[in-house]
Structure 1
Amino acid sequence: MSVIQHYSNRSIKPFKSSEEYLYAMKEDLAEWLRDLYGISITVINFFEVLESGAVLCRHANNATRAAADFLRELGHQAPTAHLPTAGVTYVESAQPATFLARDNISNFINWCRQEMGIKVLMFETDDLVLRKNEKNFVLCLLEVARRASRFGMAVPVLIQLEQEIEEEICEELHLPLGGVPKVRRARSQLSDFRDLDEMV
């Protein structure tokens, strides 16, 4: 049974709070990163594993390589959407809460903005290092995964489910894939992200 089937077969039970949404998103991202990089990450140690910024920068470089491979394979048929062309430099051995760790995180943030074109769903260094806004960090990682799916990178289950729903809607409405207006585009118009229920 695939992961998507597993989640689809579970009973649909609404989350009672935004903390439960956040927990579910962290859990999904932890499984995704564990599968991608073979690292020991769970929902419990999620921030501790990522706070040096090394895994984030490693992911940025892998995404950039995947985009280059995608462009090479498609050649002139490649989509015109902006794809990352530059990776990031980072210090693999950086220790949490040090200047090097903060520099790694800052490099990842700059990569998200410049190479992935993420403007709204962003976080600041202290959101991760000092846990000032965990939600922004988690939402940014999901957005990175969503955008990287355009060039073939593996995505968390939440993004897979989102894509399946879009495909089903397109089939039912007889629209070409991608013909459904994206909910995520409307998010840039929201000024209040307090209610995660609306976003999910």
Structure 2
Amino acid sequence: MANNRATKSGFAAEAQRKINAKYSDELAQESLEWVKIILDEDFGVSGDMDNFYEVLRDGQVLCRLVNNIKPGIVKKVNKSAMAFKCMENINAFLEAVKELGVPAQETFQTVDLWERQNLNSVVICLQSLGRKAGNYGKPSIGPKEADKNERHFSDEKLKAGQTIIGLQMGSNKGATQSGIIMGNTRHM
């Protein structure tokens, strides 16, 4: 676990400070409150890093969350406090959120949560899952996802667009460089 490691120093400490600076207590608290509403459980909803980590670190809350959104998506939730069992829970959660439609770039790696390396990416994943939860009849958080806006044009309209020459194609109108002489001519 994270408390069995030596403290980081030098470049690693500076990199960790930059990662931790991105963490938002408000977004973490909003995410935990949403999890509390979905699971109908009472646990600390403080958004500070310590509470956020303690609530989610074993992965059991995360697995129950995705099972509440889509029942049976995580087959087995490990109740053990052993490191590898907890990491299996986190990994099962990550596989489930990908199946629920969360983009891969908005997920996190297991060690980001288990070793407390990047809790901001965990918050981003929960926020993204919160947007997708609305598709499954659950309360959602964050900004509403955009709806698809397909447009269909007739063949006549498409052919009419091919006759127009846009300015991106180039133009012989406007300023040119003709008549500009800069410096001396080239001598060979």
TM-score under structure 1 length normalisation: 0.55
Percentage of pairs with the same residue:
27
Shift of 1:106: 0.6
Aligned length, in residue pairs: 127
Q: What stretches of structure 1 move > 6 A for 4+ residues in a row?
A: none
1:41 aligns with 2:44: yes
Kept in 2: contact 1:33–1:41 (CA 8 A): no
Deviations 1:31-61 (A, max 9, x none): 1122222131222411111111111111111
Q: Within 1, Cα distance between the matches of 2:35 and 2:102?
A: 21
Which residue identity is paired with 2:118?
N
The answer (yes or no) to whether the contact 1:54–1:90 under 8 Å persists in 2 is no
- Relative to its length, the structure with more helix (as a share) is 1
Gaps of 5+ in 1: 1-17, 66-85, 167-176, 181-200
Map Cα deviations across residues 71-123 of structure 1 (whole Å, 9 max, x no partner).
Answer: xxxxxxxxxxxxxxx6012335232x611100000111111223425221110
In angstroms, what is the RMSD of aligned CA positions? 2.6
The alpha-carbon deviation at position 145 of structure 1 amounts to 1.0
Return 5+ residue gaps in structure 2 as ranges.
1-19, 150-188
Q: Give the distance between the partners of 1:133 and 1:20, measured in 2 at CA.
A: 9
- The change in CA–CA distance for 1:103 and 1:92 in structure 2 (over 3 A counts) is closer
In the alignment, which of 73, 77, 88 is matched to residue 103 of structure 1?
88
TM-score (norm 2): 0.59
Q: Greater CA radius of gyration, 1 or 2?
A: 2
1: CA distance, partners of 2:32 / 2:94: 19
Give 2:73's match in structure 1, choosing from 87, 95, 114.
87
Partner of 1:183: none
